[in-house]
Amino acid sequence: MDFALTEEQSAIFDMAHAFGQEQIAPFARKWEADGTIPKDLWPQVGALGFGGLYVSEDGGGSGLGRLDATLVFEALSMACPSVAAFLSIHNMCAKMLDMFGDDALKERIMPDVLSLNTVLSYCLTEPGSGSDAAALKTRAERTNEGYTLNGTKAFISGGGYSDAYVCMVRTGQDGPKGISTVYVEDGTPGLSFGALEKKMGWLSQPTAQVQFDDCKIPAGNLVGHEGDGFKYAMMGLDGGRLNISACSLGAAQTALNMTLQYMSERKAFGQSIDQFQGLQFRLADMEIELQAARTFLRQAAWKLDTGAPDATKFCAMAKKFVTETGSKVVDQCLQLHGGYGYLADYGIEKLVRDLRVHQILEGTNEIMRVIVARYMLANR
Ligand SMILES: Cc1cc2nc3c(=O)[nH]c(=O)nc-3n(C[C@H](O)[C@H](O)[C@H](O)COP(=O)(O)OP(=O)(O)OC[C@H]3O[C@@H](n4cnc5c(N)ncnc54)[C@H](O)[C@@H]3O)c2cc1C
């Protein structure tokens, strides 16, 4: 067993970290105030090979493993978890298209997907179905030319912003086997968006409903086979869960680094506050918890990379543990900043707000427990 990163993995982390510190961190608060990430950031991210992190090299992607990808998200989220998490969603879609799209579709769309000239959104959730995603109702009726879509997707990260939408829609019977995946380009007649959602964190990412009203797409925009869409959507999620965990981890590490520094500068009762042993113990606890989270996350990623039969269980366990640890750590960091932690200028309150949603999306942390318990009961 070897817990060390390879030289290549360290180089990947360093490259992503340097890019984040130079091109994202200085602007993160402005983008949050603007409620959007400038579109011209994405081709720069694409130039690093981050538009198709685990798309095969044959398919023009970077061909990285899941563990490698977590390093990218951990490093980028040290600059801004909202931007990093948005890139994770694009990568989840890119991988689905690479694995299941037919050659004609891939030839047409993948070059721009990989260069991030086409930014992708993932559309599974609907107003009436979130955790119970297989109950989705958006319909795609087969026509001579392709499909006509009717329905609404809710909470879509990048809704009204992205260039294309990877959508799970119902083409057949009720339940998971009646679901297919389709690719819908921005500008398609019948595709429209709800108002921007006002939310707690992830403010630089636009979130909106995606609506289909007799939205016609060509038959070639079906991804893979009819009826297999739910399977594709779920396969994307194991990796998505690792990435979102990595985003919690990187942001919490930044908060802890900032807190260590702050505590050496802030004085109370005639000494710097890092001299109070009670507070030192809290620093130590955060370090222990973050290191445990990192090790657990990387083990889960390794399970997914090596095709371990319990990879899904480990991804779910890691997602629950790491996202909750991340939120706990940033909250503690805010506390150790006193009143200043509550002020936007110190950068900690943004992390508290940004990380909260990681316990809700990519499957809520209750659903993560459902997955873990199901494995335990089935294998006792
Ligand atoms: C900012 C943001 C961005 C998002 N981006 C996207 C996106 O890009 N694409 C997308 O498709 N979706 C997206 N989502 C949606 C997200 O995935 C859902 O909100 C999430 O899956 C939960 O669904 P729900 O909100 O309908 O809650 P519900 O499913 O209604 O759950 C309500 C509560 O009940 C609990 N619960 C439900 N079922 C069970 C059960 N069986 N056992 C125990 N507890 C249960 C849940 O854990 C939760 O606490 C986003 C959400 C947010 C907030």
- What confidence tens digit (pLDDT) does each residue in 140-159 have? 999 999 999 999 999 999 99
pLDDT band at 235 (very low <50, low <70, confident <90, very high): confident
Note whether 319 and 363 are within 8 A (CB).
yes
Closest CA to 257 of 287, 294, 296: 287
From ligand 1's centre to the CA of 153, what distance in Å? Answer: 13
Mean pLDDT of 121-142: 98
Residue 8 Cβ contacting ligand 1 at under 6 Å: no
pLDDT at 237: 87
DSSP result, 33-55: HHTS--TTHHHHHHHTTTTSTTS
Please confirm, yes or no, whether 289 is among the known catalytic residues: no
Residue of 131, 137, 205, 359 with the most ligand 1 atoms within 8 Å of its CB, for mutation:
131
Strand bridging mode 267-268 / 164-170: unpaired
Mutate to test the pocket of ligand 1, among 123, 155, 355, 370 (most ligand atoms within 8 A of CB): 155
CB-count exposure of residue 209 (10 Å: 0-12, 13-18, 19+): buried
Mean local confidence (pLDDT), 209-236: 96
DSSP assignment, residue 186? Answer: T
Does the pLDDT of residue 265 top 90, yes or no?
A: yes
Taking the centre of ligand 1 as the mean of its atom positions, its distance from the CA of residue 360, in whole angstroms, is: 6
Task: Identify the band that residue 348 occupies on the pLDDT scale cut at 50, 70 and 90.
Answer: very high
pLDDT at 208: 98
Nearest CA to ligand 1 atom 2: 155
Whole-model pTM?
Answer: 0.97
DSSP 216: E
pLDDT value at residue 77: 98
- For residue 228, name the pLDDT band (cuts at 50, 70, 90): very high
pLDDT in tens, 295-306: 999 999 999 999
Mean pLDDT of 192-216: 98
Which has the closest alpha carbon to 84: 50, 110, 117, 40?
50
What separation in Å is there between the alpha carbon of 92 and the centre of ligand 1?
17
Is the confidence at residue 276, as pLDDT, over 90? yes
Candidate from 86, 360, 365 with most ligand 1 atoms within 8 A of CB, to mutate: 360
- Taking the CA of residue 153 as reference, the ligand 1 atom at the shortest distance is 11
> Over 90: is that where the pLDDT of 373 sits?
yes
The residue-averaged pLDDT of 124-147 equals 97
pLDDT band at 78 (very low <50, low <70, confident <90, very high): very high
Give the dihedral of Cα atoms 44, 45, 48, 52; nearest 10 deg. -130
Tell me the C-alpha distance between 109 and 93, whole Å. Answer: 12
pLDDT score for 236: 80
Mean pLDDT of 175-201: 98
Report d(CA 35, CA 356) in Å as an integer. 18
In degrees, rounded to 5, the angle at the alpha carbon of residue 91 between the alpha carbons of residues 86 and 97 is 135
Ligand 1 atom nearest to 159, measured from its CA: 8
Question: Which entry of 32, 126, 349, 362 is annotated as an active-site residue?
Answer: 362
- As beta bridge partners, residue 272 has 267
pLDDT computed for residue 247 by the predictor: 98
Whether 359 is in the pocket of ligand 1, judged by its Cβ within 6 Å, is no
Taking 90 as the threshold, does the pLDDT of residue 256 lie above it? yes
How remote is the CA of residue 59 from the centroid of ligand 1, in Å?
Answer: 32
Ligand 1 neighbourhood includes 262 CB (under 6 angstroms): no
Q: Given a cut of 90, is residue 334 above it in pLDDT?
A: yes
By the 10 Å C-beta count (0-12 exposed, 13-18 middle, 19+ buried), 21 is classed as: middle
Query: 10-67: per-residue pLDDT in tens?
Result: 999 999 999 999 999 999 999 999 999 999 999 999 999 999 999 999 999 999 999 9
What's the whole-number average pLDDT of the chain?
97
Contacts of 152 (CB under 8 A, 6+ apart): 126, 127, 138, 194, 209, 210, 211, 212
Phi then psi for residue 168, to 5 deg, are -95, 120
Rounded Cα–Cα distance for residues 290 and 3 (Å): 16
DSSP 129: B
Closest CA to 28 of 160, 223, 202, 158: 202
Q: Is the pLDDT of residue 252 over 90?
A: yes
What is the enclosing helix (H) or strand (E) of 372? helix 365-378
Unique residue bearing structure tokens 């294309």: 164
